[in-house]
Amino acid sequence: MTANDDAARMHVLGALALELAPGSGAARLTLAQADAGALAQHLARDLAGFAPAATRLDLVTVGAHYDPVELLRPGWPVHAELERLAARAPAPAERAHAGAEDLGRIIAFGAHQDVLPGGLAPDPDHAGGPLRLVPFALAGDPAVAAAVGDAFERELIEHGMAGAATALAAQDAFGLRVEHARYLTLHDLAALLALQYEHAGLAPLWPLLEAALLAPEQEEWLDAPPEPLVRYAAGEARIALFSPKAWHARYGGDDADGARLERRFQQFQARQRQFAAVLGAHGVPVTFVDCDRGADARAALA
């Protein structure tokens, strides 16, 4: 995935995905500067193997690992913070050997006394998942970045396994038990998460999340009973809040069993809370809207 920041530079955004063995504990969420720099060298070598022109771009990364929901948020905030901090990094010294002027920099942010710069701290509340991500951005000449981005989109999802030395370095540095290590673009990561959400019964919610991530100006509805009614627009998700009577009118049908209807209504409310929690974890603001005032529920969410 590429993103313009000005007329002179373009970014290619991705992550090193660490698939953990069952029961693997995260001994460390962050790395000190020296360890972050060493891991960044491994990333640079691997990425150059997928697209040699990647060496002509600046590689920006951080000695930390994150849950997918922390990277897949509107505006890609972790990557945006990497780019913001990298823009403040000192200009490189004069290159020491011929041809080095064509090489990009390797910029790795590490922790000082366990504290990362800026807003890069991973959320410990999301630290227990089986997939952990070390984000990176490649930045530089738009033509070079576009070519590298296209190559990554073609190659990484199928052939993006990290080198054995990289996987071992990440495992040792973070104190994890890594089963597989591979590279993904943010598009790849979104597709992978969509599949995981489908397996978890959350497929109806994915189009709203996809709109929030990839087309935030777009309007998207979830209007498919028995699912909750949700509208995404203007960067916000609005969920219809029904009284038992209003819910019965929309969802109850001809069911006249009071006890069964009550169970179904409670399940519906739990589903609403689940959707709100998932949207919130992805950084999408959620508002519950009272839809019991005689207006059509869709009109109330508009």
Q: What is the pLDDT of residue 93?
A: 52
Q: What is the pLDDT of residue 255?
A: 72
Question: Is residue 264 within 8 Å of 192, Cβ to Cβ?
Answer: no
CA distances from 198 to 94, 189, 219 (A): 51, 14, 22
Task: Kindly report the backbone phi and psi dihedral angles of residue 279, in degrees, each rounded to the nearest multiple of 5, phi listed first.
Answer: -60, -45
Q: Which of 170, 139, 199 is nearest to 42 (CA)?
A: 170
User: What is the rounded CA–CA span in Å between residue 230 and residue 223?
Assistant: 7
H-run or E-run covering 152: helix 142-159
Question: Is residue 67 within 8 Å of 133, Cβ to Cβ?
Answer: yes
Q: What is the pLDDT of residue 100?
A: 52
- pLDDT tens-digit series, residues 94-109: 544 445 557 899 999 9
User: What is the rounded CA–CA span in Å between residue 192 and residue 150?
Assistant: 18
Q: Which residues of the chain have pLDDT under 70?
A: 1-9, 25-26, 91-101, 293-295
Q: What is the pLDDT of residue 140?
A: 94
Domain ranges of the chain: 2-199, 204-301
